[in-house]
C-alpha cells in the first residue's frame, strides 16, 4: 500500500494520502511565499500607499497567486491552463517596470496596463508556436540578464534602509542586511535538504529577529489589521496610459518566454518528456487570464516560479493534489490581513539582504543561457549592444531629455524594455552564422 501511495506522487492524477500531500505541498508554499510577497511589498512602498492599502496589495497578490496556480492545474475551459504541476505568483521580473510606472504615474496605471499586457500574453499564447522563433536562447538570456541587473539597485536601496527612510544608509541597516545575506549564503552552500530549500525564508526570519532586538520593527499595523478580508474589486482603480501599456505588454511577452522555459523544465525534469504545443499555449494563455482578473482586484501580474520548478525536477513529485493543496494554502494566506501585516512589518534592510542573492541568481541564469550557445561575433553583438543600450540609457537620466514625454516613459525608465527590443531587432537584422543558417533551413524543409 505504501509503495502504491508513493507511486501516485510521481503521477499527475491520483489521490495520495494527506500525510504525503501536506508536507510536500507546504514545501512549495515555503519556496514561493517570499518571492511572491516581496515584489508586492516593493511596489507598495514605491507607490506611497498607506499601511492598509499596502496590506491589501500583499493580500491580493497572494490570493491571485493561488488562483493563477489553480487555473494552471484545473483548466475549466479548453486552451486555458497548462494542466502541469506548476506554481504561479507575483514575480520580480515585473518589478523594474512596475516601479517605473508608479514613479511616473500611479498604481491605477499599473493595473490598467496589466489588463492590456494580459491580453497580449493571451494572444502570444495562442500563436506561441509561430512567435517562439523570435526568441532564441541568445535573446531570452540577454533579457534575463538585464532583468537581474536592473534589480540590483532595488536590493541595495533596501539594504540601506529604503529610500525615504530617515536612517537610510545607516550602519545598523547594513549590519542587519548583511547578517540576513550571510544566513542565506550559509544555508545555500553549507547545508542540504529543507534548510537549503528554505534558505531565503530562514534568512528573513533571522534578520527579522535581529531587527526586532534592535528596535527596528513596529507592530502597530499588525494590531490594527483584522483577521479576514477579501480582495476588493477596483479598490486601486484602473487607468490606461499608452506608454505604460507598451512597457507592460513587453514584460508580459518576456514573462511568457520565461514560462516556456519553466514549463519545459517541469516536463523534462519531472515527466521525462518535452511539453506539447497545447500545454505551452494553455500555460501562457492561463497566465494572461490570471493577470487580467488579478488586475481588477489589485493582484500584481503573475508568472511561473522557477524555484518551484527546481523542487519538481529534484524530487520528481508531480501529483496534482500536492499543488492544489499548496494553492489553497496560498489563497487562505491571502485572505488573512494579520499575516500580510506581519509580512509588511519586515524591515526593508532585511528584504534587501535576502533578495539580492535572488537577483544575482536571475542574472547568472541569463548568463548560463547565453553561454550555452556559441559566442560568435553575431551573438556577442546582440548581448553586448542590447545590455549596453538598456542599462546605459537608464543610468544617464538626462540622455533622452529632449525627447517627447511618452518616448522617455517607454525607453528611459526600464532597461529591460530597451534591452528586449534591441535584442529582438538585432537577432532579426544581423546575418545569421553559417551553422545557424543550416539548422534553420533544415527545420523549414522539415
Q: Is residue 427 domain-resident?
A: no
C-alpha distances (whole Å) from 135 to each of 256, 372, 401, 425, 427 are: 11, 15, 31, 11, 9
Q: What is the dihedral of CA 292, 294, 298, 303, to 10 degrees?
A: -100
Establish if 238 belongs to a structural domain.
yes
41 occurs within a structural domain? yes
Please check whether residue 446 lies inside any domain of the structure: no
**pTM (two decimals):** 0.72
Q: How many domains does the chain have?
A: 1
413 found inside a domain: no
- Which range of residues forms the domain containing residue 222? 2-361
Is residue 145 within 8 A of residue 387, CB to CB? The reply is: yes
Cβ count near 414 (within 10 Å): 29
From the list 240, 202, 226, 234, the residue with the least C-alpha distance to 114 is 240
Please check whether residue 43 lies inside any domain of the structure: yes
Residue 437 within any structural domain of the chain: no
Please give the chain's pLDDT, 446 residues, in tens.
444 455 677 777 778 788 878 877 876 776 677 778 888 888 888 888 887 888 888 888 889 999 999 999 987 788 898 898 888 988 877 888 888 888 888 899 999 999 999 999 999 999 888 887 777 888 878 887 887 787 788 788 888 887 667 778 888 889 999 999 999 889 888 887 667 766 777 888 889 889 888 888 777 666 666 677 777 888 888 999 998 898 889 889 878 887 887 787 778 777 777 788 898 899 999 999 999 999 998 888 988 877 677 667 666 778 888 899 989 988 988 888 777 777 777 788 888 888 787 778 778 878 888 888 888 989 999 999 999 998 888 888 788 877 877 777 667 767 777 888 899 899 988 888 776 555 445 445 54
Q: How far is residue 95's CA from residue 52's CA, in Å, rounded to a whole number?
A: 21
Give me the residue label for grid cell 520565461: 258
Q: Is residue 209 one of the residues assigned to a domain?
A: yes
Q: What is the CA radius of gyration of the chain?
A: 21
Amino acid at each position: 500500500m505504501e509503495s502504491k501511495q508513493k507511486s501516485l506522487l510521481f503521477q499527475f492524477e491520483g489521490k495520495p494520502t494527506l500525510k504525503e500531500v501536506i508536507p510536500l505541498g507546504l514545501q512549495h508554499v515555503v519556496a514561493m511565499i517570499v518571492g511572491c510577497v516581496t515584489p508586492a511589498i516593493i511596489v507598495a512602498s514605491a507607490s506611497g500607499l498607506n499601511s492598509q492599502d499596502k496590506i491589501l496589495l500583499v493580500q491580493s497578490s497572494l490570493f491571485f497567486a493561488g488562483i493563477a496556480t489553480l487555473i494552471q492545474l484545473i483548466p475549466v475551459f479548453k486552451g486555458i491552463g497548462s494542466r502541469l504541476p506548476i506554481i504561479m505568483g507575483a514575480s520580480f521580473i515585473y518589478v523594474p517596470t512596475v516601479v517605473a510606472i508608479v514613479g511616473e504615474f500611479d498604481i491605477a496605471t499599473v493595473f490598467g496596463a496589466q489588463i492590456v499586457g494580459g491580453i497580449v500574453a493571451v494572444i502570444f499564447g495562442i500563436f506561441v508556436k509561430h512567435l517562439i522563433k523570435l526568441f532564441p536562447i541568445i535573446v531570452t538570456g540577454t533579457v534575463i540578464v538585464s532583468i537581474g541587473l536592473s534589480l540590483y539597485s532595488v536590493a541595495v536601496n533596501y539594504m540601506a534602509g529604503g529610500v525615504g527612510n530617515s536612517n537610510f544608509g545607516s550602519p545598523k541597516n547594513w549590519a542587519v542586511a548583511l547578517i540576513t545575506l550571510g544566513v542565506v549564503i550559509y544555508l545555500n552552500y553549507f547545508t542540504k535538504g529543507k534548510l537549503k530549500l528554505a534558505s531565503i525564508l530562514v534568512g528573513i526570519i533571522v534578520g527579522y529577529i535581529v531587527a526586532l532586538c534592535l528596535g527596528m520593527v513596529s507592530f502597530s499595523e499588525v494590531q490594527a489589521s483584522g483577521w479576514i478580508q477579501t480582495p476588493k474589486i477596483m479598490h486601486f482603480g484602473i487607468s490606461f496610459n499608452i506608454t505604460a501599456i507598451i512597457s507592460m505588454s513587453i514584460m508580459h511577452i518576456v514573462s511568457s518566454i520565461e514560462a516556456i522555459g519553466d514549463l519545459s523544465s517541469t516536463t523534462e525534469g519531472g515527466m521525462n518528456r518535452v511539453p506539447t504545443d497545447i500545454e505551452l499555449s494553455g500555460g501562457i494563455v492561463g497566465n494572461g487570464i490570471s493577470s487580467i482578473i488579478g488586475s481588477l482586484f489589485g493582484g500584481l501580474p503573475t508568472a511561473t516560479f522557477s524555484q518551484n520548478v527546481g523542487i519538481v525536477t529534484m524530487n520528481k513529485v508531480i501529483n496534482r493534489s500536492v499543488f492544489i493543496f499548496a494553492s489553497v494554502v496560498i489563497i487562505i494566506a491571502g485572505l488573512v490581513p494579520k499575516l500580510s501585516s506581519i509580512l509588511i512589518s519586515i524591515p526593508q534592510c532585511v528584504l534587501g539582504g535576502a533578495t539580492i542573492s535572488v537577483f544575482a541568481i536571475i542574472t547568472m541564469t541569463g548568463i548560463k543561457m547565453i553561454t550555452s550557445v556559441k559566442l560568435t561575433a553575431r551573438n556577442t553583438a546582440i548581448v553586448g549592444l542590447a545590455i549596453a543600450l538598456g542599462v546605459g540609457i537608464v543610468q544617464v537620466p538626462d540622455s533622452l531629455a529632449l525627447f517627447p514625454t511618452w518616448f522617455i516613459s517607454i525607453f528611459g525608465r526600464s532597461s529591460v524594455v530597451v534591452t528586449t527590443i534591441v535584442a529582438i531587432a538585432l537577432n532579426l537584422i544581423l546575418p545569421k552564422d553559417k551553422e545557424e543558417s543550416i539548422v534553420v533551413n533544415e527545420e523549414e524543409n522539415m
